Amino acid sequence: MMVIPAIDIRQGKSVRLKQGEIDKEVIHSNDPVFIAKLWQAKGAERIHVVDLDGAFNGIRSNKEVIKNICSSVDVPIEVGGGIRSINDVDEIFNMGASYVILGTAIIYNPEMVKKAIKKYGSDKIIIAIDTKNGNVAVEGWKDVTSINILDIIPTLQNMGIKQILYTDVSRDGMLTGPDFFGIKQISLNNNIKLIASGGVRTINDILDLKKYKNVIAVIVGSALYTSEFKLEEAVKITRDKE
């Protein structure tokens, strides 16, 4: 299982939010490129980057920062946030990203998602499914649909999607532990691969996630800035336990 550190970017800064709420923003660095280099130095094999401005208002205003991150590190970068069209997907890959994350588009523009998969392959397109109380949230988590996550997964599989990034919004940035119940429910009902996100606090959370056969990676955000979690230790443990 891979441990993937997150860099959320808003107005050019590396920030963390709690439950996706801007008024709970904590700025960690004015230099996201430096943070990316730091995570690489600590052993990250991939880095998760989100354009929060794009996610919240559809205006991807952090393109240059993301492009600089892609060109400044030697590990794959996965990028999400406000990617609504095939032109957006093309642009992200042209910046040097290795993977594109699509969330809102899967609900409002599934045909575009199909085009992206056909053009770049299902291994390069990751579908983000963010939930509140089990229902899918979109538009930077502002809107909650009536679609239950367990109901949408068969549709995703029929589209050829191989992996989803699953986030329980209520846990994001809260350091309360992952949504093990939700992850178990998803794992029991299908064979789709999961990237777990939201709530990771300690190394033990990482080891517990390894018990689920479908979980191929975990994204860590706020825990990276606490004394209880060391990225280099998490990377080493997951490698040693293979």
pLDDT value for 71? 98
The pLDDT of residue 127: 96
Told to judge if 168 belongs to the known catalytic residues of this protein, a careful annotator would answer no
Residue range 180-205, pLDDT digits in tens: 998 998 888 678 899 999 889 999 99
Residue of 51, 53, 88, 130 marked active site: 130
Q: What is the count of structural domains for the chain?
A: 1
| Of 213, 211, 178, the residue nearest 196 (C-alpha) | 178
Looking at residue 63, what is its pLDDT? 96
Q: Is 8 a catalytic residue?
A: yes
Alpha carbon distance 132, 148 (integer Å): 9
CATH code: domain of residue 92: 3.20.20.70
- Active-site position among 8, 51, 172, 179: 8
Q: Which range of residues forms the domain containing residue 156?
A: 2-240
Residue 140: the pLDDT is 62
Enumerate residues 6+ apart whose C-beta is below 8 A from 140. 20, 52, 55, 56, 57, 81
Instruction: Give the predicted TM-score (pTM) of the model.
Output: 0.93
Residue 186: the pLDDT is 87
Q: Which positions of the chain have pLDDT values less than 70?
A: 19-21, 23, 140-141, 173, 189, 240-242
**pLDDT computed for residue 95 by the predictor:** 97
How much is the pLDDT for 141?
64
